[in-house]
Structure 1
Amino acid sequence: MKIAIVEDDINMRKSLEIAMSDYKEFEVKTFKNAKDALKSLDATFDLIITDINMPGMDGIEFVKTLGGKFEVIIMTGNATLQRAIESIHLGVKDFLLKPFDVDTLIAAIKREDKIQKVKKNAAKESKKSDFGGFYGTSKPLEDALKIATKAAKTDATVLLLGQSGVGKEVFASYIHNHSPRAARPFVAINMAAIPDNLIESELFGFEKGAFTDATEAKAGQFELAEGGTLFLDEIGEMPYGVQAKLLRSLQEKEVRRLGSAKGIKTDIRVIAATNANLMQKIKDGSFREDLYYRLNTIPITIPPLSERKDEILAIAQKVLEQNCVKYGFELKRFSEESQERLLAYNWPGNIRELISVVERAVILSDNDEITPHELLLELRSGVNSDKNR
């Protein structure tokens, strides 16, 4: 691991050089100020350790200049502790309060080293996989992906069907990334997350003065997705009155901002998704039949996680690694019994529920092994049983 130490105090700098020389796994370069460091830093460095109070450019400005290209550990005295805390907002993961002993510094470095190894391994595994964005694979998933891959090569509208939490946005992203539009924007909008009275302006934009609060013109999601893909999640929740305008935009390939008499030509690919029964909504009069058939050019039904058991442990392991990195924990593992419990559970909330369960288990576990007790699946099973009575 190649480390840069930036410290203006010559005694401190030399002390760190001597102490770090005992650790052959670390290659250490020291700099007396931030400007000197910036001249020499390149992609071969894995970690920066810097003081805050330095002449010329202080540690906070130094971190800002690095722009997130390197992981950073801050060294600080009591007088600058508040500034060190501010550095967290810049992405700094750790800081050491002076005076500190060498063991504390080495522990912080090794913690960062382990986190970086997890990240690199995750990146390698992602590159190895042909299932971009998917953490595991199974026969039902592969069958759905075969259809998605064929659809991706075209501009046909795709309708993703399946229970809540099965990964419909991941599928939409997969289709976009494997399409000729991959280099252009992927814009996702959730109909259920936007108040009914704002959906039209959010989708199509508005001109200045179109309504009371329209103090300036704003482009809608259709325009923002120009050349790329617009993902309309929870399409079944779209207000009936807006559906006609969406249908017209899809057929005419143009949108009209609120308050404008002029249409704007668009070149986008639309993917829609829902966990609702649209045919029932059509019967109920809450969803337009003509829009349904326009969106349903290529329907893809995504199976629930209960039918994709082969993916469960792979997804759980990937989420575990991500959360260990996220919360700065040592890398943890699932006990054999925990793995059995994960496989035996029915996952009514699908992948979204699995992600939630694993994140909580990572936080609650006191040791490096996650036990069934920390998964709390018994409690969840009880809740599900109550619902089914």
Structure 2
Amino acid sequence: MKIAIVEDDINMRKSLEIALGDYDDFEVKTFRNAKEALKKLDESYDLVISDITMPGMNGIEFVEELNGRYDVIIITGNATLGRAIESIRLGVSDFLTKPFEVETLVEAIRRSQKVQARVKKRVKKDVPTNNSMFYGTSEALEKTLNLAYKAAKSDASILLLGESGVGKELFAKTIHNNSPRKDKPFVAINMAAIPENLIESELFGFEKGAFTDAFEAKMGKFEAANGGTLFLDEIAEMPFHLQAKLLRALQEKVIYRLGSTKGVSVDVRIVAATNADIKTKMQNQEFREDLYYRIATIPIHIPPLRERKDEIIPIAQKCLEDIVEKYDFNPKAFSEEAKEKMIEYHWPGNIRELIAVVERAAILSDGDTISENDLFLDARI
């Protein structure tokens, strides 16, 4: 197994290199920072172990750049709940807090190794999913859905609020599918996932020759969603200087492609979402108050999974069924102890974390029953 260690602290880096070098099946390479690692990582690597606090590019930004190409274990001496949740959102395999025993890290590596070995032996199938379905129900969910259904019938702008991983895009699609625009496009854009210098062109499009690499004209998300719904995810992360242009487009229902002075009329319904404290951002002049009132005609708060406990087992069981089908496993089921553990756990990463835990448990479990220990919830935050 070829492992990349990305750690700016030379003592920590060397210690890990020496400790893991004692294992014959580990080939260890070290890098001083994320930018150095990005230049040299190739398909031969199986796992990346990365610190969070590093100069130039931190570990969270590094994982975003890796974009799921490698299993990642995060190690940090500055653990916070926010960073752990962000790591979960990005799909890291494990999150270890310094100081830790080398054996703890090796156990995490072995888990990753086992997952990779089992997945490689199976043929991945495309499992059809229905994004308009909620697999469980709870009183909190029903209240929120009832509000969403009522809002869907209008053309008012909706702002979805809630923690990362609660299912904001699923709610946005549900609103679209229950609206008069359901037969028109649903187009999503994540403001946090696009480099700042590309957001404007992604939203509004560009004409041929508008900038160096603009070899042909391209339609933006507004035009692509014309007649339908435009979902602006992580809206609070939109650069402040572009917010005025977005506000103008929403008010005038006209957009201008980069490199063009000709306006294009657009008719879109806006559903936006954020997990940030957007009112604090307004107070800090990081988000325009006039834009907030334009996109938040109907604000809808989506409760976290810990307040929707009745949904945990139904969601977990549906995910398990999909994973069993995807990897052609024998049928699997959760033990009663595993179910109790899932219900008791606080799920800081919400539904996204639950899905990741179930998938890993399904792959790592040896028998047809997934036990409490297969979930590895005690190792999480």
TM-score by length of 2: 0.66
Which structure has the bigger radius of gyration? 1
One-letter amino acid of the counterpart of residue 198, structure 1:
L
Task: Report SS of the residue matched to 2:378.
Answer: helix
Amino acid at match of 1:243: Q
**Whole-Å Cα distance in 2 between the matches of residues 238 and 265 of structure 1?**
23
Question: How many residue pairs align between the two structures?
Answer: 260
User: 2: distance between equivalents of 1:377 and 1:149?
Assistant: 35
**CA deviation digits over 1:289-340, x for unaligned, max 9?**
1000101100000000000000000000000001011111112100011001
Is residue 246 of structure 2 the alignment partner of residue 240 of structure 1? no
> In the aligned structure 2, how far is the partner of 1:375 from the partner of 1:230?
37
Structure 1 segment 178-197 matched on structure 2, within 5 A? 178-197=178-197
Please say if 1:206 is aligned against 2:209.
no
Cα offset for 1:254?
A: 1.2
Q: Which residue of 2 aligns with 1:259?
A: 259
After the TM superposition, which residues 116-195 of structure 1 pair with which residues of structure 2 at under 5 Å, given as runs? 132-195=132-195
Secondary structure at 2:247 match in 1: helix
2:274 is equivalent to residue 282 of structure 1: no
Q: Root-mean-square deviation (CA), in Å?
A: 1.9
The answer as to 2:320 corresponding to 1:320 is yes
The C-alpha deviation readout for 1:47-89, integer Å capped at 9, x for no partner, is: xxxxxxxxxxxxxxxxxxxxxxxxxxxxxxxxxxxxxxxxxxx
CA distance in 1 between counterparts of 2:359 and 2:123 reads 19
Alignment correspondent of 1:218: 218
Contact 2:256 2:263 in 1 (8 A): yes
Q: Deviations over 1:72-119 (max 9, x none)?
A: xxxxxxxxxxxxxxxxxxxx959xxxxxxxxxxxxxxxxxxxx99xx8
Whether contact under 8 Å (2:158, 2:299) holds in the other structure is yes
Give distance in 2, aligned partners of 1:93 and 1:194: 32
Which has the higher relative contact order, 1 or 2, with Cα contacts under 8 A spaced 6 or more apart? 2
* Residue pairs, 1:327-366, within 5 angstroms: 327-366=327-366
1:226 shift after superposition? 1.1
For 1:325, the aligned partner's letter is: E
Aligned partner of 1:48 in structure 2 is: none
Distance 1:246 1:165 in 2: 26
Q: Secondary structure at the match of 1:377?
A: coil
- Counterpart of 2:230 in structure 1 is 230
> CA–CA distance in 2 between the matches of 1:217 and 1:287?
30
- Gapped regions of structure 2 (runs ≥ 5): 1-121
SS at match of 1:267: coil
- What SS does the corresponding residue of 1:379 show, helix, strand or coil? coil
Deviations 1:13-61 (A, max 9, x none): xxxxxxxxxxxxxxxxxxxxxxxxxxxxxxxxxxxxxxxxxxxxxxxxx
- Conserved? CA contact 2:132–2:173, under 8 Å: no
Q: Which amino acid aligns with 1:173?
A: K
CA distance in 2, matches of 1:280, 1:93: 48
Q: Relative to total residues, which structure has the larger helix share, 1 or 2? A: 1
CA deviation after TM superposition for structure 1 residue 357, in Å: 0.3
Superposition misfits of 4+ residues, deviation over 6 angstroms: none
Aligned to 1:304: 304
In structure 2, distance between residues paired with 1:154 and 1:254: 21
Counterpart check, 1:378 vs 2:365: no
Q: Identify unmatched segments of 5+ residues in structure 1.
A: 1-91, 95-114, 385-389
CA distance in 2, matches of 1:173, 1:330: 33
Give me the whole-angstrom Cα distance separating, in 2, the residues matched to 1:222 and 1:216. Answer: 18
How far is the alpha carbon of 1:138 from its aligned partner? 0.4
CA–CA distance in structure 2, aligned partners of residues 330 and 184 of structure 1: 40
